[in-house]
Chain A
Amino acid sequence: MTTTTPSSLPDRKPSSNPFLKIITKIPWTWVITFTYLAFLLILPIIALLIKAASEPLDSFWKTATSPIAISSYEITFVTAFAAAAINGIFGTLIAWVIVRYNFFGKRFLEAVVDLPFALPTAVAGLTLATVYSNNGWVGSLLAPLGIKIAFSRIGVFVAMTFISLPFIVRTVQPVLTDLEKELEEAAWSLGASQIQTFTKVILPPLTPSILTGIALGFSRAVGEYGSTVIIASNTPFRDLITPVLIFQRLEQYDYVGATVIGVVMLVISFVSLLAINLLQAWSKKYG
């Protein structure tokens, strides 16, 4: 499991290129970079993996696939995907509006989209729990309809939607900016309808970046803890997400349980990172 050892990282390549030689005369940038990464990033990851590897495989598997863990994966991943997907639609729409139209409040809209990057997640959780509680601004409108948002799985969805929105907008926006308007105009002048222009001309080059944005938002939502722990009731099998499960295991001093589920999360982070890189490589082909 532990293929990335710190010692295999330094690639201080002696360059034959004379001007690179001048610049690589500052080796301490490498020293700082690799020491920092080794101690603060790689070492902790290795500690987690080794701790998990010391667990016999069958009991590892048993802990990783216990009913409560499985239900937490389902709640986390399905909800995160739903949140990222709905933002995939509305985030693309917002990016389109920002790039293509001029209107009053455009700069405001653009700045506000980044709010989830700037607002601490605990504050997001607090205010969402208030607004969507049964006597909150939005919650009180939905409560008579029998829809309960705060302290339920829908609350988790709302929090995940909040934190993942900017990822989609910010990923699609630059690609949309680079998209040549002439192509659309050409399609129109050739008699394509607006819907045809959208599905045949605009959407194909945007698809990789929309998917990248969804993957980034998904990966953020899956790992989210602060806002979700506050808005959810954290009841097993109902709205208990995996990060909260890890936290609860730690609180009970069940380090093995926390580690095993932590490794599952870590592996999923790596897989999403790989998927995001592949998607980005794909979108570069269009660029």
Chain B
Amino acid sequence: MTANSPLSADEHDALLTGWGRTAPSRARMVAAHTVADISAGIQSSGPRGVLARGLGRSYGDAAQSGGATVFDMTALRSFDLDIEAGTVTADAGTSIDDLLRSVIPAGFFVPVTAGTRFVTVGGAIAADIHGKNHHGEGSFASHVTRMRVVDGRGEQNELRPDDPTTAEMFWATVGGMGLTGVIVEATFRLLPIETAQMSVDTTRCRDLDDVMARMIEGDDRYRYSVAWIDSVASSGRGVLTRGDHARRDQLPAGDPAGDAGTALEYATPSLPSAPPFVPGGLLNSATVRAFNETWFRKHPKDRSSEIMSIPAFFHPLDGVRDWNRVYGPQGFLQYQFVVPDSAGWLVERTLSRLRDVGAPSFLTVLKRFGPANPAPLSFPQPGWTLAADVPARNDRLAPVLDDLDELVAAEGGRLYLAKDSRQSPAMLAATYPRLSEWQAVRDRMDPSGIFTSDLGRRLSL
């Protein structure tokens, strides 16, 4: 066989999917060891273009691009902590996991963390991730003071939100899903903390109205707040966990962590990974019901100021490596929308529609968002955000999600691009009204359309 058949495999071939493991595509995957690698890759890119990929935690097709050159950014992972200024300057491939191991012992926490710490700084900006503190402290990019981005000509740009000549490009890159350029470095503010522990109030709520009423009434008193909802129970009962970083004086007397020397010790539990192959039918209504029941019961009815570790509070799922495999070979998707407060009824409607088609969500999370930032494609806006994980193999799911999309759009809401793997281009255009404004800036940064992704193609971004 000759080596140059147009059908021959290439040593750089990689089949990529998002965290949901749906709709794979092949790309030419190359490790970016230096910024020069990225510039050179952009300047020599083929007709299918280039894309940066971090740790692949987007659920859908954001970090894959069929036929393109995809930069594995995780080799670019050094960072500098400026203790005086309380900021960190990190390469784009640095993970939040790496950062936490360094900054917590120094008395700092990242300004925003998603439900997993296995995301890169570049990905956090490109998706403009949010955490349990969005209602008070905004999304990740709200804490970024500068970043360096390689544009579609292969040139480096220093972008700052406070610099009128680059602010537009800064905000187009925030939430821009990697389509304005390759983020290579960013500086952002950290949060000073006294201990590596959390002080948490937990409330078991009898139904969804109870959960939502308590959140409206009390979230402002907490830095962090999130509700887990039992998607199987028609009551929509849930567990509300809210808290803040524990101060030294909140640790119980005699607790070794109360010592100045050990208060900031940070360890992450390492638990086994999910098995490499799981049959598709394992997650069914019965197992989801059992899990939800257990989860609800495991929480105390009402407990105040419980001391909890950072991983237990922020990243419980990171304890099981590759937990996305439990959905079987056809994968899963996460449906996450935000709607204004006036459309809070959509939370209940969504859960009941999913139950009706036998696709109860395994893990369902409800949160309140605060104000939006200036980025045209940033997801958060004031109101409710619901995230529901559902297996993709369900044949009745597609029309139900399309119906829900229409309701979300009609109420002025939208879907999170970092989670999306199935919305229509029309839905996207209707719910991100500043799309054309973003496209104009993107076209200036990438005049020949070098940056491509399956998400971008699917949604005509």
Do chains A and B stick together as partners?
no
Interface, chain B (partner A; CB < 8 A): none
